[in-house]
Amino acid sequence: MQHDTLELLISIGHYARVHRRFDEARYLFGRLALLYPRRAFPYLGLGLIELDRANYPSAALLFGRALEAVPDSVLARAWLGVCQVLEGHYALGARMLMTVADSDQPGATSMAAAFLKLPECAPFAAARVAQVEPTAASLSTIERLTIRNGY
């Protein structure tokens, strides 16, 4: 399929989704999933439909399918983390969102950062930072002096 045509179909699917024409959007993204089973975008579209409908378990499954198709999809990880948080699986969602926090995709990174700041996720995100950054007590005397003196 021509790249321009594919972009147009994806845009039409998202347009239908945004305007709550879920059956039409589901039909279109479902057909795209048949044509492109090893690409993430059809599953992301289907997942966003379920997310819009507040059907978080189904959305999470679809974002998981997007990750199966494209394991390094930052958007799929971000949306899966969001679904996990919305389902109340805060630790799981925070862990998933932390894998996105340093990505080079600004939309996914800012979404992950916003959800990691939620009161429900903050303890898990803070615990991860504490594990990465050594505390002064865990450093040797020479390491503390080096840090304190800026060397």
Q: How far apart are CA 99 and CA 137, in angstroms?
A: 28
Neighbours of 91 (CB within 10 A): 14
Residue 127 has pLDDT above 80, yes or no: no
Q: What pLDDT digit, counting tens, does each position of 54-65 carry?
A: 999 999 999 999
Q: What is the DSSP letter of 36?
A: -
Answering whether pTM is above 0.85, one says no
The pLDDT of residue 77 is: 95
Amino acid letter, 75: L
Q: Express each pLDDT in 93-120 by its tens digit.
A: 999 999 998 888 888 999 999 999 988 8
Check residue 139 and report its DSSP letter: S
Among residues of the chain, what percentage have pLDDT more than 90? 68
Phi and psi based region of residue 54 (left: phi greater than 0; alpha: psi -120 to 50; beta: remaining): left
Domains, the chain: 3-121 (1.25.40.10)
